[in-house]
């Protein structure tokens, strides 16, 4: 039974497996490998090995390819995996540094493949070795040179350019197509590499489609001395062509990348054309379309070049697509091998017999991947380990157009090893004569269309516009130590200019006046010198005669445009704006400088207004400060009155009361830094809040002081113009004056876009930009605004010494500066290519930094001393504020009298409004004290309150006695006499113990006020023995201690008779009696103390008669007495 059951289960398991294989798996090839994706972080990593040379260019192409890949959202990877490229640079380019870079920086990251960019054959061999050793797919993108002939499946080679072997195959197909059986080869100095010539010779011997081509003679000019003369070249060329057999069936292949050498050879061949049989000339190296326009002879000349050339980032994108497709296909079969890289240590390679290598697995899929990419069809050839891409070449022939001018005609195309003719009848025949009507080639003369520009002389016109073109005077010898010599002929006549330049070419010519000679320099002159150096031409420079850019006026074009159209100039180099009107009649290169139109205005010095001192802070800040002040004072008062230690009637023994007015006085004193006496809170909460307010005031005043000079000094205002659509520009009735440069692109823009505005501003237009800027600087200014190119205006602002100019408003009319050329000029493409190259290489940025990095307002530092001197006009508001304060004080005084005479009597009759201690102590006294009490408080303050002293250190203890009589008795001393005697002698007694004086004063007014609020109880009034007792304690905040009964005088103006009047009078008499006794006792004690001091001094004098130190001490004591 068990055996049957086991067999049944086995058959069931096999059946399920077959069902899964037949039905389930074909529908779902592979489930999503979540654990593998989590292990690799949902990322496929690639390495990029950057070369030491041209690293920035290749890194930029790689970044552009990755950005486009992210923007497209399709990296051809499965499961929404992301692609990460790790770029690393080899330090020295040697094998050791490359091995260290790959192993330590790339392989350890677990990369699936590596991109390499070898720049030489040695680097390519190093990549070949690394791929064979590590068994990781390497894809080398080769830009020059021959690929390796290898069958390494781990190293694929993608060519971005056709190698010399492929070019020799193309050239051989062209030669055999023309029916030429052989020929000669000429190598110029810069084309001295014989690799392509050797490939051509080898392939010619092997033949193509049963036809052979033989190389009969070779002339290598690179082996000869440099700067060969034209006669020498002609002699060598004559010897070469005379030795070439079968001239009618032979050709001459010129391998040259030097335009000057090419022109010299072709010119020599033209001069020999009458003495030798005609030859068929072919350019051996591929040329660009722009290079073709510099060659104008001979007719029938064949050349070829690549068209639709793809940039490097296109090849990188196709490479990434190749890897992505291979990873996708491999993941669908074995995701573990395709995504998890087991080669992460160069020194611990996995055993490929025990564990399959992920690199080997991915290499199989790379070899079987093909698609159509950005560079054309992409496929991998296993036998050569190459990734084939498509390059497209055209073969051109120099023919005459219907107008009789030389022009290049496309004869055939070459792609994927096949030559296809465009038109069979156009292919040049073997009997065609090439030189009979060709234009004359002249080295060093003025350039003509159809001739090579190399070695020729161009006539360049310019216009002075800072900082693009400056001029200065020549030296005493009429030369320019710096800059380029240029003429200022003040005319546009071609005959006059030809005559002037012919005179200028004469070395010893002095007929040309120095005032016509100028030295030109600037942004555009540097650009022109760079073009002349790279394109190998010379130039004659002159300034346009009428000083205009060019406009259609009077039935013709003026300025720079007119000189180009009339043929006076071959090129215009300055701040030449590209617009549609000019582009219809002349050609422009690609822009070398981008700018727009701007509006320039001048600042106005305005008088400081009355409220200038308040400008450092916004009005909301001022309101916030004073609101915060009153709120802080309110909270300090609340904290003080709710604290058991506060200066209030409910607090401890205090002389004064802290009210809201005291808090306001304190907060204002802290805010403005006043050093006046003010009450301070006694409770800790109030003091903490007071310190916080002090910190707040410190920070506010510091900010105010720091901004005061910056805001008030040198106040300048500018015309507020928002842009070209501002109402001031479109409504001339407002009297706003503005203009621009006549016949400039700015005037052309305003004329087309705003005709009414242009009609108004015509009267204010100026001939040049400096003239327009100078009208803004005059006093008074002649213009309110000046419209011109922002690039020119920004420079004028930067060099303004007085800092009175400023560009305002939004930029408008975006435009660019280009180099002007005659229409359909063969130089346009070539010059544009160089300009684009300069922009990408950073040369244009260097020029911008050189001519635009000027310190704004350069001379402003010299005027700082004068500017910082603030006059009375800056603080006029403070004087006005002081006057307002005096007037406000008078009004306050009037208000006090009004309150005292009219409001105060009314408030006295209302019981609920009599308690004002929390607000103002003065108002509280005025409401709660009678008239006689108030007068008595003022008259007897120092006598009845201040003279009562309970301290032993009081000055009364040291009053000197009378000189003749003993101390008076207690009964015979009257209060008036004692008071007078104390007042007369208090000054002398105060000198001895000035620092020890401590007085305790009775604030009878406050006590009286408290009595009115809470009268003492009857048992306390009967305790007479406490009146003069030593432990007396008085509360200065208005009331007696519960343990003390003090006799308080009743209100004098009450007019009411009380039962206790007699008792009060009796107590008052006894108090006066005690005062007299106390004064007599204190005076007696002071007399005894002085007598004791004299005795001690007399004894010390007798004992130290012989001691100088004692004598000195005695003198000091007497002097101090």
Mean pLDDT by 10 residues, the chain (1121 residues): 61 61 47 72 87 85 88 80 87 80 88 91 89 90 87 90 87 83 80 71 78 82 67 79 63 79 79 69 81 70 86 91 90 84 78 72 88 88 80 85 73 84 58 42 54 77 89 82 84 77 64 80 91 86 87 85 87 89 89 87 67 77 87 86 76 71 87 77 81 85 77 58 78 77 84 86 86 84 85 81 79 85 86 88 85 60 41 60 70 78 78 69 68 51 43 40 40 36 38 39 40 41 38 41 41 52 86 90 90 86 59 49 44
Length of the chain: 1121
Q: Where are the beta strands (DSSP E) in 992-1080?
A: 1034-1035, 1039-1040
The backbone torsions φ and ψ at residue 766, rounded to the nearest 5 degrees and listed phi first, read -120, 160
Model pLDDT, residue 654: 61
| Domain spanning 166-305+392-426, CATH architecture | 3-Layer(aba) Sandwich (3.40)
Angle between helices 523-535 and 843-852 (to 10 degrees): 150
CA angle, corner 1023, sides to 1017 and 1024, nearest 5? 130
Model pLDDT, residue 319: 92
Model pLDDT, residue 711: 64
Q: What ranges do the domains of the chain cover?
A: 34-160+311-388, 166-305+392-426, 457-572, 599-605+723-817+842-867, 611-713, 876-913, 978-996+1007-1121
Model pLDDT, residue 116: 93
| Domain spanning 457-572, CATH architecture | 3-Layer(aba) Sandwich (3.40)
- CATH homologous superfamily of 34-160+311-388: Response regulator (3.40.50.2300)
pTM: 0.43
Domains 166-305+392-426 and 457-572 share a fold: no
- Residue ranges of the annotated binding site for L-glutamate are 577, 582, 745, 789
Model pLDDT, residue 641: 82
Q: If phi over 0 gives left and psi between -120 and 50 gives alpha, with beta otherwise, what is residue 277?
A: beta
CB 449: neighbour CB atoms within 10 A?
A: 16
Q: Is 458 helix (H, G, I), strand (E, B) or coil?
A: strand
Instruction: Count CA within 13 A, CB hemisphere, residue 404.
Output: 3
CATH, range 599-605+723-817+842-867: 3.40.190.10
- Residue ranges of the annotated binding site are 577, 582, 745, 789
Residue carrying structure tokens 């002879």 = 297
CATH, range 611-713: 1.10.287
Residues 6+ apart with CB under 8 A from 5: none
Model pLDDT, residue 9: 64
CA distances from 272 to 218, 231, 234, 242, 296 (A): 18, 11, 8, 11, 17
Asked whether 795 and 466 are in contact (CB, 8 A), the reply is yes
């Amino acid at each position: 039974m068990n055996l049957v059951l086991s067999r049944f289960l086995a058959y069931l398991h096999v059946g399920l497996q077959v069902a899964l294989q037949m039905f389930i798996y074909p529908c779902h090839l592979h489930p999503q490998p979540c654990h593998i994706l989590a292990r690799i972080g949902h990322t496929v990593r690639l390495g990029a090995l950057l070369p030491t040379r041209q690293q920035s260019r290749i890194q930029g192409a790689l970044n552009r390819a990755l950005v486009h890949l992210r923007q497209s959202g399709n990296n051809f990877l499965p499961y929404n995996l992301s692609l990460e490229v790790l770029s690393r640079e080899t330090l020295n380019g040697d094998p050791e540094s490359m091995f260290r870079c790959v192993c330590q920086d790339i392989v350890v990251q677990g990369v699936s493949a590596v991109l390499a960019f070898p720049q030489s054959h040695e680097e390519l061999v190093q990549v070949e070795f690394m791929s064979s050793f590590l068994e990781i797919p390497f894809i080398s993108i080769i830009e020059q040179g021959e690929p390796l002939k290898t069958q390494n499946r781990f190293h694929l080679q993608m060519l971005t350019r056709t190698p010399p072997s492929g070019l020799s195959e193309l050239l051989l197909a062209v030669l055999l197509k023309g029916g030429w059986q052989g020929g000669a080869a000429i190598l110029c100095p810069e084309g001295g590499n014989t690799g392509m010539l050797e490939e051509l010779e080898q392939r010619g011997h092997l033949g193509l489609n049963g036809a052979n081509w033989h190389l009969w003679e070779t002339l290598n000019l690179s082996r000869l001395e440099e700067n060969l003369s034209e006669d020498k070249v002609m002699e060598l060329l004559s010897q070469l062509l005379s030795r070439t057999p079968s001239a009618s069936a032979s050709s001459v292949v010129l391998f040259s990348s030097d335009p000057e050498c090419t022109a010299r050879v072709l010119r020599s061949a033209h001069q020999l054309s009458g003495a030798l049989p005609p030859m068929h000339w072919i350019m051996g190296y591929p040329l660009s379309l722009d290079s073709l326009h510099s060659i104008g002879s001979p007719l029938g000349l064949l050349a070829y070049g690549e068209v639709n050339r793809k940039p490097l980032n296109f090849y990188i994108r196709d490479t990434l697509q190749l890897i992505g497709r291979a990873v996708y296909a491999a993941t669908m079969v074995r995701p573990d091998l395709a995504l998890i890289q087991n080669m992460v240590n160069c020194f611990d390679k996995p055993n490929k017999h025990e564990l399959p290598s992920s690199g080997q697995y991915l290499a199989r899929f790379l070899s079987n991947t093909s698609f159509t990419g950005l560079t054309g069809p992409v496929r991998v050839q296993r036998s050569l380990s190459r990734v084939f891409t498509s390059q497209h070449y055209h073969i051109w022939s120099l023919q005459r157009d219907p107008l009789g001018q030389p022009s290049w005609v496309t004869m055939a195309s070459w792609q994927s090893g096949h030559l296809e003719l465009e038109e069979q009848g156009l292919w040049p025949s073997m009997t065609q004569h090439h030189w009979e009507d060709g234009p004359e080639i002249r080295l060093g003369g003025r350039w003509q269309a159809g001739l090579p520009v190399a070695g020729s002389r161009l006539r360049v016109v310019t216009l002075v516009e800072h900082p693009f073109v400056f001029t200065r005077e020549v030296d005493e010898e009429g030369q320019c130590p710096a800059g380029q010599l240029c003429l200022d002929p003040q005319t546009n006549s071609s005959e006059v200019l030809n005559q002037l330049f012919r005179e200028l070419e004469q070395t010893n010519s002095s007929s040309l006046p120095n005032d016509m000679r100028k030295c030109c320099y600037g942004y555009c002159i540097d650009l022109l010198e760079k073009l002349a150096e790279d394109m190998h031409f010379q130039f004659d420079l002159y300034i346009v005669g009428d000083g205009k850019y060019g406009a259609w006026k009077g039935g013709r074009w003026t300025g720079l445009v007119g000189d180009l159209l009339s043929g006076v100039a071959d090129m215009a180099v300055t701040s030449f704006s590209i617009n549609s009107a000019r582009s219809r009649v002349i050609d422009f290169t690609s822009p070398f400088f981008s700018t727009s139109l701007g509006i320039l205005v001048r600042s106005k010095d305005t008088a400081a207004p009355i409220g200038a001192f308040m400008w450092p802070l916004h009005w909301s800040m001022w309101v916030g400060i004073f609101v915060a002040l009153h709120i802080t004072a309110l909270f300090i008062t609340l904290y003080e009155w709710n604290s058991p230690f506060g200066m209030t009637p409910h607090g401890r023994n205090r002389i004064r009361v802290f009210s809201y007015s005291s808090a306001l006085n304190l907060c204002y004193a802290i805010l403005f830094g006043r050093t006046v006496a003010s009450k301070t809170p006694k409770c800790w909460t109030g003091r903490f809040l007071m310190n916080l307010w002090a910190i707040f005031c410190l920070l506010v005043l510091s900010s105010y002081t720091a901004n005061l000079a910056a805001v008030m000094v040198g106040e300048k205002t500018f015309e507020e113009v928002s842009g070209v659509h501002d109402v001031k520009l479109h409504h001339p009735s407002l009297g706003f004056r503005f203009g621009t440069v006549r016949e400039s692109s700015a005037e052309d823009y305003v004329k087309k876009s705003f005709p009414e505005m242009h009609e108004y501003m015509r009267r204010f237009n100026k001939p040049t930009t400096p003239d327009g800027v100078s009208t803004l600087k005059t006093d008074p200014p002649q213009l309110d605004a000046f419209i011109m190119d922002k690039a020119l205006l920004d420079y004028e602002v930067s060099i303004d010494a007085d800092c009175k100019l400023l560009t305002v408003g939004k930029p408008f009319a975006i435009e660019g500066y280009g180099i002007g050329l005659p229409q359909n000029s063969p130089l346009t493409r070539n010059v544009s290519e160089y300009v684009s190259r300069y922009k990408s290489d950073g040369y244009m940025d260097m020029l911008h930094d050189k001519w635009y990095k000027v310190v704004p307002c350069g001379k402003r530092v010299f005027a700082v001393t004068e500017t910082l001197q603030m006059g009375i006009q800056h603080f006029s508001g403070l004087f006005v504020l002081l006057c307002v304060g005096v007037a406000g004080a008078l009004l306050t005084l009037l208000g006090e009298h009004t309150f005292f005479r009219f409001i105060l009597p009314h408030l006295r009759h209302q019981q609920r409004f009599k308690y004002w201690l929390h607000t103002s102590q003065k108002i509280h006294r005025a409401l709660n004290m009678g008239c006689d009490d108030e007068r008595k408080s003022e008259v007897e303050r120092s006598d009845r309150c201040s003279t009562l002293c309970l301290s032993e250190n009081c000055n009364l203890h040291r009053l000197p006695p009378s000189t003749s009589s003993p101390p008076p008795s207690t009964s015979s001393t009257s209060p008036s006499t004692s008071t007078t005697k104390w007042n007369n002698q208090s000054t002398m007694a105060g000198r001895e113990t000035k620092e020890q004086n401590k007085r305790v004063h009775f604030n009878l007014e406050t006590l009286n006020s408290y009595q009115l609020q809470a009268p003492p109880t009857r048992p306390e009034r009967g305790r007479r023995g406490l009146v003069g007792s030593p432990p007396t304690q008085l509360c200065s905040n208005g009331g007696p201690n519960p343990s003390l009964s003090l006799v308080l005088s009743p209100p004098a103006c009450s007019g009411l008779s009380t039962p206790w009047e007699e008792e009060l009078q009796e107590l008052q008499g006894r108090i006066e009696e005690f005062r007299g006794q106390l004064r007599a006792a204190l005076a007696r004690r002071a007399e005894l103390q002085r007598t004791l001091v004299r005795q001690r001094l007399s004894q010390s004098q007798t004992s130290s008669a012989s001691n100088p130190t004692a004598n000195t001490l005695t003198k000091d004591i007497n002097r101090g007495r």
